[in-house]
Amino acid sequence: MDILATARKRHTAKAYDSARRVPEELMQQVCSLLRHSPSSVNSQPWHFIVASTPEGKARVAKAAQGGYGYNASKILDASHVIVFCSRTDMDDAHLERLLAQEARDGRFRDDAARAGQDAGRRGYVRTHRYTTRDMPQWLEKQVYLALGTALLGAASLGIDATPMEGFDQKILDEEFGLHEQGLASVVLASFGYHSEADFNAGLPKSRLAEELTFTFV
């Protein structure tokens, strides 16, 4: 796989072919990419709601109304839609869950290594909770790492995708009872195959020049 060619080729789909579905084995790969995305101190502060049925997509599309109505068809006509959710806090239960999983996966050579990982992660949590006081923003940043991983991964599999921040978060959070689960919706992404109505598919990619984008020292 030529990852640079994939990055150059991918685009944000503006219209989907509702008759075409992404094979489940390919979407399972996208889901696996989400699970294996990087996150600060391996915090994994996310949850993903995958809507693949007409009923499921209709529930997500409830949040695309009014000023966000332009995104409704990108949800309803797509093969799959994923709601990217962030934890609203890093509570003890989640921290203990992470540590236990790391132990099962063999990441600690001894008890001291386990204790060090736990102390380091909790140190970051305290910093963002009490010092910088930006806990929700810090956790949401990790979710966007997962989004980027999924978008590039989908393109490598020949799947079109559309990231969307244009939706009513309050409606979506209530629809799926997210607050009761300690979660909040952050961003949506549709996956499928673009239709002929997708004007963006035929446009050249536009990026600022390298000298305006990088500083090499």
The residue annotated as part of the active site, out of 9, 96, 165, 205, is 165
Clarify whether 211 is annotated catalytic: no
The residue annotated as part of the active site, out of 74, 102, 210, 211, is 74
Interatomic CA distance for residues 53 and 32, integer angstroms: 20
DSSP reduced 3-state for 114:
helix
Using alpha carbons, select from 18, 46, 16 the residue that is nearest to residue 34. 46
Please give the order of strands across the beta sheet that includes 183-192: 46-51, 80-87, 183-192, 160-164
47 - beta bridge partners?
A: 85
DSSP reduced 3-state for 37:
coil
Clarify whether 14 is annotated catalytic: yes
Torsion of CA 72, 59, 135, 162, to 10 degrees: -30
Is-contact 31 46, C-beta < 8 A? no
Clarify whether 165 is annotated catalytic: yes
Between strands 183-192 and 80-87, the pairing is: antiparallel
Interatomic CA distance for residues 41 and 43, integer angstroms: 5
Q: Which residues are catalytic?
A: 14, 74, 165
